[in-house]
Amino acid sequence: MNTTERDGPEVSWRQLVLDLGYLLPGLPIAIVSFVSMLVGFVLGVGLFVLAFVGLAIMVATLAGARRLAQFERARVGWMEGRAVGPVYYLPPERTGLARLLDYLRDPQSWRDWGYCLLILPLRLLTWTLTIAWTALSLALAPLVLLAWAITGRSGLQGLPWVLAITVRGLAAVESSIAWLLLTNESAALRARTEALSRSRESAVQAEADTLRRVERDIHDGPQQRLVRLTMDLESAQRRIDEDPATALPLLEGAVLQTKEALAELRALSRGIAPPILNDRGLPAALAAAAARCPIPTTLDIELTDDERLSPSVENAAYFVVAEALTNAAKHSGAHQCTVSVAKVADRLHVQVIDDGRGGAHPGKGHGLAGLSDRLTGVDGRLDVSSPPGHGTTIDAELPLPPSV
């Protein structure tokens, strides 16, 4: 007979320790959760006639439920060796009283609150059984050792396995409740789908805005110069035989119009996708953009000259810096700008700071609206801080695709 048949099924002592570490503190945690959630709810409802007081208590109660739920997800994840999720909370998109009301309409916050109440009766059972089985096993341990010392084999060889499988079952019941109430995969998937939809719409809007801007700039700049160039050349053509002296200034003007039209076309192309960005990468392109800026600009780029990012990230980062420097030169009255670019974990952080008059606004109809749309199109985000009289800080964050 082999060892496994003689001593019973193999026991995972590590998992037994993890299960006991999860189950034994469970009842005190459940009592604190139950009491705090019940008292908070009763006080919030009872004082709701006082409007703000009752609302504040209810919001504090749901916020506490979130923290307790986060703690419980961490405990279950520690026991099972995997992250517990996904979980989705409504993002705080409003401010003031409206933001407090958003807490009350968040389904996951109420699921967290319900978990804090429902877990107490379950843990009264699981904790009691865990203590009873553990105490019984400890009490019988001397008998097991004595039997082994006398006979060379244990008369209760299956006891460790029974304890382990019982504790594992109790822990699995509790963790299943946590997975049921403290996660919401469907809501997380819906939120991700909506975010992707908004991202696609923002990308389309950003491209449409860019096309309209390019069309307007071409109409107001190079197109007008080309019309004048055509008229000057036609006039010079009519006079070249009869009055060469009069035709010569017209030809010189045509050459000047040609050079200015080419310069404007190059400037427009740099605003879309400059060749230097495709050829030499983001650091070189940003250095060129800073050199063209009429405001003295300092660069702090934590990328090597030969380090390349994905084209979408490079284009978006360049567009942020170029547009921010253009807005600063046109509107801020700044004397100094600073551009910082750094990779932090799996994200690229871009920051542009000027010491101008401030007051910049990212809303629709303002110059920064296009930046927000373009970043949303690549799952990035934009933060603008521009208090009047204290300069403007533009922070952009772009996700970096995983390396292959």
Q: Distance (Å, rounded) from C-alpha 397 to C-alpha 401?
A: 13
Q: Distance (Å, rounded) from C-alpha 294 to C-alpha 389?
A: 20
Q: At residue 50, does pLDDT exceed 80? A: no
Q: At residue 87, does pLDDT exceed 70? A: yes
Candidate ranges 309-323, 328-342, 354-368; pick with highest mean pLDDT: 328-342
Residue 220 pLDDT: 67
Q: At residue 67, does pLDDT exceed 90? A: yes
Look up residue 98 and give its two tokens. Answer: 């409206």
Least-confidence region, from 235-244, 267-276, 375-384, 392-401:
267-276
Say if residues 295 and 325 touch (Cβ distance below 8 Å): yes
Q: Distance (Å, rounded) from C-alpha 382 to C-alpha 195?
A: 15
Q: Distance (Å, rounded) from C-alpha 92 to C-alpha 163?
A: 46
Residue 209 pLDDT: 63
Whose tokens are 């459940």? That residue is: 30
> Helix 107-151 crosses helix 159-181 at what angle (to 10 degrees)?
180
The SS3 call for residue 365 is coil
> What percent of the chain stands above pLDDT 70?
77
Residue 288, classified by CB atoms within 10 Å of its CB into exposed (0-12), middle (13-18) or buried (19+), is middle
Q: What is the mean pLDDT of residues 161-178?
A: 89
Q: Distance (Å, rounded) from C-alpha 263 to C-alpha 301?
A: 28
Q: At residue 178, does pLDDT exceed 50? A: yes
Say if residues 76 and 18 touch (Cβ distance below 8 Å): no
Q: At residue 77, does pLDDT exceed 80? A: yes
Q: What is the pTM of this model?
A: 0.57
User: What is the per-residue pLDDT across 266-304, written as a single tens digit (0 to 9) for each?
Assistant: 666 655 667 788 788 888 888 888 888 889 999 998 887
β-strand pairing of 392-399 with 381-385? antiparallel
Determine which helix (DSSP H) or strand (DSSP E) holds 352, and give its type and residue range: strand 347-354
Say if residues 264 and 228 touch (Cβ distance below 8 Å): no
At CA 202, angle to CA 199 and CA 206, rounded to 5? 140
pLDDT band, residue 4 (cuts 50/70/90): very low
Return the CATH number of 279-399, one of 3.40.30.10, 3.30.565.10, 3.40.50.20, 3.40.50.150.
Answer: 3.30.565.10
Look up residue 218 and give its two tokens. Answer: 């071409």
CA-based nearest residue to 41, from 59, 23, 16, 29: 59
Q: What is the mean pLDDT of residues 170-189?
A: 88
CA-based nearest residue to 61, from 42, 41, 79, 91: 41
How far CA 367 is from CA of 51, 179, 229, 271, 364, in Å, comes to: 41, 46, 32, 14, 8
User: What is the per-residue pLDDT across 188-201, written as a single tens digit (0 to 9) for each?
Assistant: 777 667 666 666 66
Q: At residue 210, does pLDDT exceed 70? A: no
Residue 240: CA count within 13 A, CB half-sphere: 9
pLDDT band, residue 24 (cuts 50/70/90): very high
The SS3 call for residue 125 is helix
CA-based nearest residue to 322, from 269, 376, 360, 359: 269
Q: What is the mean pLDDT of residues 85-103?
A: 78
Q: Distance (Å, rounded) from C-alpha 190 to C-alpha 183?
A: 14
194 vs 137, residue with greater confidence = 137
Q: Name the residue ranges covered by the structural domains of the chain.
A: 3-183, 221-272, 279-399
Residues 6+ apart with CB under 8 A from 329: 293, 294, 295
What mean pLDDT is reported for the chain? 80
- CA dihedral 325→328→334→337, nearest 10 degrees, is -20
DSSP 18-50: HHHHHHTTHHHHHHHHHHHHHHHHHHHHHTGGG
